[in-house]
Amino acid sequence: MDRRGFLKVSLGTGLAAAAVAGCGGSGGGPSGGGGDVTLRYAWWGNNIRQQNYTKALKQFSTANPAITIEPEFADYTAFQERMTTQIAARDVPDIFWIASPQVMTYHKSKLYRKLDDIPTLKWDDYSKEDLETFKLDGQLNTLPFGIFTPVIRYNETVAKADGVTVPVEGPGWTWDSLAELLVAYSKNNPGKRKGTPYAPDHDLTFEAWLRQRGEQLWTQDGQVGFTADGLGSWLDWWEKLRKAGGALSLSEQEGMGPDWAQVGKKVLVNFGNSNHIIDDAKMFPKEKFRLRAAPIAAGAPAGHKYLYFPRMAIYQRIDDGNLEAAGKVLDYNVNNAEMLKTVRLTMGAPTNPKVAEQAAAFASPDEKEMLAVVAKERAAERKPRYEAPPGSSTWRTTMARICEEIALGKTAVPAGAQKLVDEIGAGIKRAA
């Protein structure tokens, strides 16, 4: 072959390859002939959750051969980054979980398709009150698929061995009594454990603290719902606890947001979400963990209790031909206990009350512990809570930084609290 011939063949091959590539593409639209549908499903978590959900989605496809699901999994942080770039490229998965800081940001960007007109997604099992709490700005456009509550998780095995009794919920279960317990335990226990990791940046317990003082995390109109004083009181509680030796130092826990596998052997209790017990307890299989609802401040107003919902949604621009199939997938996620047998309850208690009852039958002891705590909170009177507004997505990172500065003595509590309120407010203002 001469050079001209080679060039012609090369160009021809290249153009043909480009043309074929252009015809390809995956996911999205109906795949033609036979009514088969391919849906992209995006979620986050650890390796175990990836495996469990992949398996459950395959089981769904086996039961519904006309629906193929392409899983898109990532670690929590990477998931958010990927979603953002996918949104910018208008290449959003058909069904996706929503990271808590982005719920209202995506809502503002009109990413969610409304869910109350999809015939394959049933709402019959939910009360009117439930449905109201699910809505964003009055629209039922996201699907809460789990419930978390703020809890104190303690190591019952160690507590028994060390002769410690964690008070039961009731009049004696206050933040002060908890602090006293943690400090006293840290000073005198054979394993030289501390009471708790240093965790003032834990969002759910912070929100519980605020609501017990008549404040809230976010307002209905998308502003910061707490004052510098409210935040300061929380940071002060932690600072006193840390200085009294009731919490691990940053050095002992290797920074903010410590790895539970590392610090679990160094503490008696942990501040966390109710669902965390399921994965965290497995790291210490010889020990038994129990949950207590967050302590209650004296004079806490009625309705301070709250539930946090992780949400999922269907992309606004989903192909109409795929919508019913997507509704079926969502229905499988929330209204079918069979899926939970595979994925377990790592994403919290089921939002569907009937499924929650069914789940109790096959739940593990840790899952039963979580279900019991959530059921109690769910039955309590609750004032509305609002999702994080656009522009506030980094508030937890900022809070962790301020807490770190306070613990290192670089910032005083009042100055740190004011700085955090100002920084979050500035972010919200920029995004407005």
Q: Which residues bind another protein (CB under 8 A)?
A: 3, 7, 11, 77, 81, 84-85, 87-88, 105-106, 108-109, 111, 249-252, 254-257, 390, 393-394, 397, 400-401, 404-405, 408, 410, 427, 430-431
Residue number with CB closer to another protein (214 or 255): 255
Q: How far is the CB of 17 from another protein (least distance, A)?
A: 12
| Residues 6+ positions from 54 with CB-CB distance below 8 Å | 71, 73
Q: How far is the CB of 102 from another protein (least distance, A)?
A: 9
Upper half-sphere CA count for residue 227 (Cβ side, 13 Å):
6
Q: How far is the CB of 96 from another protein (least distance, A)?
A: 14
| Residues 6+ positions from 248 with CB-CB distance below 8 Å | 194, 196, 197, 198, 258, 263, 266, 267
Residue type, 275: N
Residue number with CB closer to another protein (252 or 324): 252
Residue number with CB closer to another protein (107 or 213): 107
Residue type, 208: A
Residue number with CB closer to another protein (195 or 230): 195
Q: Burial, 216: exposed, middle or buried (Cβ in 10 Å; 0-12, 13-18, 19+)?
A: buried
As a whole number of angstroms, the distance between CA 175 and CA 156 comes to: 19
Residue number with CB closer to another protein (46 or 364): 46
| Residues 6+ positions from 18 with CB-CB distance below 8 Å | none
Q: How far is the CB of 74 from another protein (least distance, A)?
A: 13
Cβ count within 10 A of residue 382: 17
Residue number with CB closer to another protein (256 or 334): 256
Residue number with CB closer to another protein (139 or 249): 249
Residue number with CB closer to another protein (49 or 419): 419
Upper half-sphere CA count for residue 428 (Cβ side, 13 Å):
20
Q: How far is the CB of 127 from another protein (least distance, A)?
A: 33
Q: How far is the CB of 409 from another protein (least distance, A)?
A: 10
Q: How far is the CB of 260 from another protein (least distance, A)?
A: 14
Residue number with CB closer to another protein (4 or 128): 4
Look up tokens 């809570």; give the residue.
385
Q: How far is the CB of 318 from another protein (least distance, A)?
A: 18
As a whole number of angstroms, the distance between CA 65 and CA 74 comes to: 26
Q: How far is the CB of 264 from another protein (least distance, A)?
A: 14
Could you write out the DSSP letters of every residue in 121-176?
Answer: S--TTS-HHHHHHH-BTTB--SEE--BB-EEEEEEHHHHHHTT--PPPSSTT--HH
CA distances from 415 to 82, 237, 250, 336, 385 (A): 35, 15, 20, 49, 27
Q: How far is the CB of 255 from another protein (least distance, A)?
A: 5
Residue number with CB closer to another protein (142 or 352): 142
Cβ count within 10 A of residue 200: 26
Residue number with CB closer to another protein (288 or 396): 396
As a whole number of angstroms, the distance between CA 109 and CA 28 comes to: 20
Q: Which helix (H) or strand (E) holds 243?
A: helix 228-243
Look up tokens 């972010």; give the residue.
427
| Residues 6+ positions from 357 with CB-CB distance below 8 Å | none
CB 201 within 8 A of CB 186: no
Q: How far is the CB of 87 from another protein (least distance, A)?
A: 5
| Start-to-end Cα distance in the chain | 64
Q: How far is the CB of 360 from another protein (least distance, A)?
A: 37
Look up tokens 């398709």; give the residue.
113
Residue number with CB closer to another protein (250 or 375): 250
